[in-house]
Chains A and B, each alone.
Chain A
Amino acid sequence: MKNFLIYTAKILVITILTAIVLDALYTYVFLQSANRGKIETVFNSKAQKLDVVILGSSRANNHFVSQMFEDKGLKTFNYGMSGGHLFEASLMLKLMIERKYEIKNVIVEADLNLSNDHEAEGIAAKFLPYIHNSTVIKNHFSSQENFNEFYYIPFYRYIKYDSKIGFRETFFTLVHKKTNALDNLGYYPLEKHKNGNMKNNIAKLKPLKHNKYYEEIKNLCKANHINLIAIMTPMCENVVGMNYFDKVKKAYPEIYNYENVVIENKYFASCGHMTDEGARMFTARIIKDFFKK
């Protein structure tokens, strides 16, 4: 029995050592990442000047055409992330500030995502490789339920989110395989397709009265002298519970309601996402209203 206990102890040590080595290896690879995604790019970037930074979910990513801002002489990047919540948007802004970005304007898409203040696991996972290399990321996750596991158990975060930051992603990062996340200055244009879901029911959705991460973004902008433009972006015609946007306006009067700027279904790829044509109409209006010189 003694021999067996020694044997199992050896296996345990091997397992822990393997986890430590893999953790170090994966983290090292992610620290070199430059062309895979927005989070990795910001983390591994140096100070830069931006006139407009766009934050939010896919409804930011697909709706703000960065090039149109650039054409007006505004250095712009769209950091909207499909599936992301304000948890990640706030952290993204914190990271930029940690990297000493000089930002004049932040446009944050704040509408449906105001209804929750929890993380979007699939997106938040992409910050986790850097949890030991950034105080901002560490602090941002410190209030999360499984922070201790992510922070103290080697390789746990890579196992937990293997589909996002596991072997496959690490391998592609290592060989510098490019994604399209950074194309078009971060804007992702959508096309009209016949099977797009043109109905949406948001009747049960309620904006939180005090969304922690929206407030964080507000405070960060204030503290760093950044002009914050919070915007509700359009949805298609067939939405049940459209009074959600009135509730947002009531709870957060400073958020601009641009939900009804583009209405017709022909400008939507799905109910919550405009086509490239719709996005261009919408962006033109935003530029006209906020960046008139």
Chain B
Amino acid sequence: MFFNSIAFAIFLPIVFFLYWFVFNKTKRTQNALLIIASYYFYSCWDWRFLFLLVFSTFLDYYTGIQIEKGKSEKSRKFWFWLSILVNLGFLGIFKYYNFFAASFADLLNSVGVQASPILLNVILPVGISFYTFHGLSYVIDIYFKRIKAEYNFVDYSLFVSYFPLLVAGPIERATHLLPEIKVKREFDLEKAKEGIYQIVWGLVKKVIIADTCATYANAIFDHYTSMNSFSLILGAIYFAFQIYGDFSGYSDIALGVSKLFGLDLLRNFNYPYFSRDIAEFWRRWHISLSSWFRDYLYIPLGGSKGGIWMKIRNTFIIFVVSGFWHGANWTYLAWGFINAVYFLPLLLSNSNRNNMDAIVLKFDFNSAKVVMSIFYTFFLTCVAWVFFRAKTISDAFLYLKRVITNHDFSFQYLDNERYSYELLVMIGVFVLIEWNNRNKIEPLSGKRSLLKLSLAILAIMAFGTFSDYKEFIYFQF
């Protein structure tokens, strides 16, 4: 059940109606309904993995309590590591086992030892990377006594499996979401309206930007050996907007849907392509994952407090692990590594927190420098996206090599029966709208909101891509 499907358009109003009109008596009934709705929502993907979700929920709930109750440090440690190992074990088996087995066999074969890996015939449970990280953050926070364990199983279950964030985040924190779940929600008209704006803007990003860019990006990446320099450059730009529209669109819809139920989720994107350097980009892109790795990996490793080699080591660890979180493929590792290379000079020169302020442009030299730095950061990001999108690392290198060596900048007719340049106007308009509204969560709220909402609906219907339907990219992670 995708957020942009007819099934969800039926599911959401039903749950909304039951939530505010039938199950609105107490916080307990509200949470119970959301749990049922969430489990139904998840079982629409594959009901078999519902057991995995319930098991994972129960494991973290129980170990959380045992850690808190543990009288000795040994006991606390036991339950803590049990939860960590089982959680990561599931993730490892479902997501990474085949990759490691195949890579190990390749390594043995390359040194002359014949090996054929035993591969598992399993599919990746939807959302496993997201709900595992929910659970991990909860258990880690209890172990380090940042939060108290949750004794109400329904409340805890809702924290893990709340349907707007279940399959592709944002990755919530117990410190943020649990307190909201613990109180009865009262209907708030303004919040609900904000939710509608965010849902509609999320659909604009997904249906108009991401899915349309996808048809062009696929046509270019899948036939990159016959593409010229201009098409290849456009391919990287189109993919940059595809993945941004897709994932931030999903996040907007998730946040908007949640607001309809009176629950605020963590913001996941903050106009990342207007970043002035890579450090700022990572403060604006997939914020809930970046901050998760910062808090639960980078800081425990020592962060940037140690010597120069420790800083370098920690930077590479966090980016490479972040890349690997996306999927079991060398291309994701390469993408993480490249971002670490981008980030390192900023860290070593202590300029990684230079651009913390809002962007204000005037007609002066400094503003010109800011614009140039935004374009430069976008260029670096696009180069890294080539590795993320390519099937193999060598494909990515050949793609980039062809950009430089082909020297042909004419318009090409693509496999999707369109000319390569056709999307540029649409992307330009989208960037302008986002730029003008970069200080807001989405562009539809504020003055004349109903008119803007109507135009957005019209745009979705008229300019959206529906026939070449694409799943949300981050569902596979």
Interface residue ranges, A against B (CB under 8 Å): 1, 3-4, 7-8, 10-11, 14-15, 18-19, 22, 155, 159-164, 166-168
A4 to B19, CA, bound (A): 14
B435-477 vs A, CB cutoff 8 Å, 1 = contact: the mask equals: 0000000000000001001100110011111111000000000
Residues of A near B20 (CB, < 8 A) are 1
C-alpha gap A159/B454 in the complex (Å)? 17
Residues from chain A with Cβ under 8 Å of B358 in the complex: none
A4 partner residues in chain B, CB cutoff 8 A: 187, 189, 192-193
Chain A residues, CB < 8 A from B174: none
| C-alpha gap A162/B208 in the complex (Å) | 12
Q: How far is the CB of A159 from chain B (nearest CB, A)?
A: 5
**Chain A residues, CB < 8 A from B196:** 7-8, 11
Residues of chain B with a CB closer than 8 A to A10's CB: 450
Q: Are A11 and B457 in contact (CB under 8 A)?
A: yes
**CB-nearest residue of chain B to A19:** B461
10 closest A-B pairs by beta carbon, nearest first, are A163-B467, A14-B454, A159-B466, A18-B458, A167-B462, A162-B466, A4-B192, A162-B467, A1-B187, A15-B457
A4-B192, A11-B196 known; A162-B454 Cβ under 8 A: no
- The residues of A that contact B464 with a CB separation of less than 8 Å are 159, 162
Q: Which residues 184-229 of B have a CB within 8 angstroms of A?
A: 187, 189, 192-193, 196
Residues of chain B with a CB closer than 8 A to A18's CB: 454, 457-458, 461
Centre residue among B187, B461, B466 by max chain A CB count within 10 A: B461
Closest chain B residue, CB of each to CB of A155? B461
One of B192, B461, B466 near A22 (C-beta < 8 A):
B461
User: How many chain B residues touch the partner (CB < 8 A)?
Assistant: 21
Query: How many residue-residue contacts, CB under 8 A, span A and B?
Result: 50
Residues of B within 8 A of A167 (CB): 462-463
Measured CB to CB, the closest approach of chain B to A292, in angstroms, equals 41
Residues of B within 8 A of A1 (CB): 20, 187, 189
Contact between chains at A7 and B463 (CB < 8 Å) = no
Complex contact A160–B466 (CB within 8 A): yes
Closest B residue, CB atoms, query A25: B462
Closest to B465 in A: A162
Q: In the docked arrangement, what's the CA distance between A15 and B192, Å?
A: 18
Q: How far is the CA of A148 from the CA of B466 in the complex (A)?
A: 19
Excluding A4-B192, A22-B462, A162-B467, 10 further A-B contacts by CB distance (< 8 Å) are A1-B187, A4-B187, A14-B450, A18-B454, A22-B458, A22-B461, A161-B467, A162-B464, A166-B462, A167-B463
Interface majority SS (helix, strand, loop, mixed), chain A: helix
**B27-55 contact mask (Cβ, 8 Å, vs A): 1 or 0:** 00000000000000000000000000000
Q: Say yes or no: B468 contacts A163, CB within 8 Å.
A: yes
A139 to B418, CA, bound (A): 33
Q: List 30 A-B contacts (CB under 8 A).
A: A1-B20, A1-B189, A3-B189, A4-B189, A4-B193, A7-B189, A7-B193, A7-B196, A14-B450, A14-B453, A14-B457, A15-B457, A18-B458, A18-B461, A19-B461, A22-B458, A155-B461, A159-B461, A160-B467, A162-B464, A162-B465, A162-B466, A162-B467, A163-B465, A163-B468, A164-B467, A166-B462, A166-B467, A167-B463, A168-B422
Contacts of B468 in A (CB 8 A): 163
B161 to chain A, nearest CB (A): 26
Which residues of B sit under 8 angstroms from A15, Cβ to Cβ?
457
Q: Kindly list chain A residues whose C-beta atoms are within 8 Å of the C-beta of B187.
A: 1, 4
Residues in chain A near residue B457, CB distance under 8 A: 11, 14-15, 18
Instruction: Give complex CA distance A1, B192 in Å.
Output: 9
Residues of chain A with a CB closer than 8 A to B465's CB: 162-163
| Chain B residues near A14 (CB-CB < 8 A) | 450, 453-454, 457
The CA of A120 and the CA of B464, in the complex, are separated in Å by 22
Contacts of A7 in B (CB 8 A): 189, 193, 196
In the complex, which residues of chain A have a beta carbon less than 8 angstroms from the beta carbon of B466?
Answer: 159-160, 162
- For residue B420, give the distance in angstroms from its CB to the closest CB of chain A: 14
| Chain A neighbourhood of B422, CB < 8 A | 168
Q: A22 to chain B: which residues have CB within 8 Å? A: 458, 461-462
* Interchain nearest-CB distance for A124 vs B (Å): 13
A274 shortest CB reach to chain B, Å: 23
User: What is the chain B residue whose CB lies nearest that of A8?
Assistant: B196
User: Smallest CB–CB gap between A8 and chain B, Å?
Assistant: 7
Q: Which residue of B lies closest to A121 (CB)?
A: B467
- Per-residue interface assignment for chain B, residues 150 to 162, with 1 indicating a CB less than 8 Å from any chain A CB and 0 otherwise: 0000000000000
- Chain B nearest Cβ from A172, distance in angstroms: 11
**Complex: chain A residue closest to B417, CB-CB:** A163
Which chain A residue shows the least CB distance to B260? Answer: A4
Compute how far the CA of A14 lies from the CA of B463 in the bound complex, rounded to whole angstroms: 17
B399-422: which residues lie under 8 A (CB-CB) from chain A?
418, 422
Q: Give A26's nearest chain B residue, CB to CB.
A: B462
Report yes or no: A11 in contact with B467, Cβ–Cβ below 8 A: no
Residues in A whose Cβ lies below 8 Å from that of B189: 1, 3-4, 7
What separation, in Å, do the CA atoms of A109 and B411 have in the docked complex? 37
Query: Which of B189, B193, B422, B466 gathers the greatest number of chain A CB atoms within 10 Å?
Result: B466
Distance in angstroms between the alpha carbons of A15 and B450 in the assembled complex: 12
